[in-house]
Amino acid sequence: MKSIDLLQAIARGDTSAREVCDAAIARIETTDARVNAFTERTFSRARAEADAVDARHARREPLPPLAGLPYAVKNLFDIECVTTLAGSKINRELPAAVADAVLVQRLKASGAVLLGALNMDEYAYGFTTENTHYGPTRNPHDLARIAGGSSGGSGAAVAAGQVPLTLGSDTNGSIRVPSSLCGTWGLKPTFGRLSRRGTFPFVHSLDHLGPLGDSVEALALAYDAMQGADPLDPGCQALRVQAATPALARGVDGLRIGVLGGYFHDNASAPARAVAALAGKTLGAIGDVTWPDAGLARAAAFLITASEGGSLHLDNLRERPQDFEPLSVDRFLSGVLQPADWYLKAQRFRRIYRDRVNTLFSQWDVLIAPATPVSAPEIGTDWLDVGGVRQPSRPAVGLLTQPISFAGCPVAAAPMWPEGTGGMPIGVQLIAAPWREDLCLRAAMVLQQSGIAHLKGMVA
């Protein structure tokens, strides 16, 4: 049963929030030994939150919009009384969080029920969730394959049917990559749209937070619940709530929709190109579009990521480098050693780049691109062939997401199922101008209603 059906059943009294919660707990206990999505289970808290929803229903009080919906969060979100690991070994030594992250607080206020924290790449530096400390998260559609990252646990938990909603972070693609490889819906909002207070940072200049879910409705409801200014988070620029849920019924008539070519065609496999073309045909795309300076944007994103990420962990890199994730410690160290001039030039380029991207959206409303160049590689894969070019596998998975998040644009990821991937998904990105999440979700809703974008149950 999809999230929207669960919410309606709870509101009608056909089932209770406690029954839904217990079913989710049973599903986690049945599947997670194989999937490895969870690093912390908050089942006692979840049962108490579900019972509170049922008590409100028994008193005939109005229920909030997410009443009784189970969810889980990437383990860089603070959960009261739980240590925020951020995928690391080092953070085990930190005290437990004294309060929930702001977005967790807002979901709780909306009636959602928190079941735990989810696996990720250490300190969010990766696209695969091959975590050495906590084990790799496995793709529910083929347990030999990666779930993507760095929000791999968030994608896998939805794809495995453990919870219908999760929260992740996206710096260079960490919501969209696991959404694509696990076959879930995802939303990376505009940079600065949602409060980041109470989350462990990766790259202050680039970090976004957002939901992954089993349907477009789940994304829209969660997104609307989490919106709102936060005066204690100077990076939260959203001064006004812009509800997306009412926009879902509007369709895409009148929207100028295009498919990205050039860089996004050249760095995609044939199945990835096919899903973008099919999405374009379904949405009535009217042309091929060139995204400005995509390759340069990816290079600049790498420089800023390494520099800020390395600086954040400088003391531990000096004193205990052996305790870092072996797959990413070299990248953190390289960031520490980068000249400051490189970082400053990358930031100056970013300002120019965003202006060029915003000019592009004066002509287009929604742009389409594959979310990943390939479907999920096997765990341990070191190299990929993308467009006839041999690329290092772990960074190459984010080839098509980094240029978009570097501009701060909102993106909905839609799960699609092309031929030629052995039954594995590849998602598409539905991209709009900053602050126009409603357009991304309207396009996503059309793909969902058409049937070409959808979840499939865990098969492994």
All residues at 6 or more sequence positions from 1 whose CB lies less than 8 Å from its CB, including other chains = 9
| DSSP per-residue string spanning 81-130 | TB---TT-SGGGGSPPPSS--HHHHHHHHTT-EEEEEE--SGGG--SS-E
Structure tokens at 18: 């406690």
Considering the domain boundaries, does residue 62 fall inside one? yes
Considering the domain boundaries, does residue 220 fall inside one? yes
Report CA Rg, the chain: 20
Give the distance from CA 29 to its chain's centroid. Answer: 24
Considering the domain boundaries, does residue 278 fall inside one? yes
Residues belonging to the active site:
74, 150, 174
Considering the domain boundaries, does residue 399 fall inside one? yes
How many domains is the chain partitioned into structurally? Answer: 1
Could you give the CA distance from residue 374 to residue 418 in angstroms, rounded to a whole number?
11
| Residue segments in the chain with a per-residue pLDDT below the cut of 70 | 239, 460
On the 0-12 / 13-18 / 19+ scale of CB atoms within 10 A, 51 is: middle
Q: Would strands 366-370 and 426-431 be described as parallel, antiparallel, or unpaired? A: antiparallel
Q: What is the pLDDT of residues 69-92, one digit of tens each?
A: 999 999 999 999 999 999 999 999
Could you give the CA distance from residue 194 to residue 408 in angstroms, rounded to a whole number?
12
What number of H helices and E strands is found in the chain?
16, 17
Considering the domain boundaries, does residue 120 fall inside one? yes
Q: Which residue, among 75, 177, 70, has the nearest Cα to 119 in the 3D structure?
A: 75
Q: Helices 216-226 & 437-450, crossing angle to 10 degrees? A: 160
**Whether the predicted model's global pTM rises above the 0.85 cut:** yes
Which pLDDT score, from 0 to 100, does residue 1 have?
87
DSSP H or E stretch at residue 416: strand 411-416
Partner residues linked to 79 by β-bridges? 82
Considering the domain boundaries, does residue 359 fall inside one? yes
CATH number, residue 33: 3.90.1300.10
Could you give the CA distance from residue 439 to residue 253 in angstroms, rounded to a whole number?
11
Instruction: Check: CB of residue 291 under 8 Å from CB of residue 262.
Output: yes
Which pLDDT score, from 0 to 100, does residue 460 have?
58
Other C-beta atoms lying within 10 Å of the C-beta of residue 247: 18
On the 0-12 / 13-18 / 19+ scale of CB atoms within 10 A, 318 is: exposed
* Residue 429, phi then psi, degrees to nearest 5: -95, 130
3-state secondary structure of 259: strand
Considering the domain boundaries, does residue 171 fall inside one? yes
Q: Give the residue numbers spanning the domain of 161.
A: 3-450
Considering the domain boundaries, does residue 101 fall inside one? yes
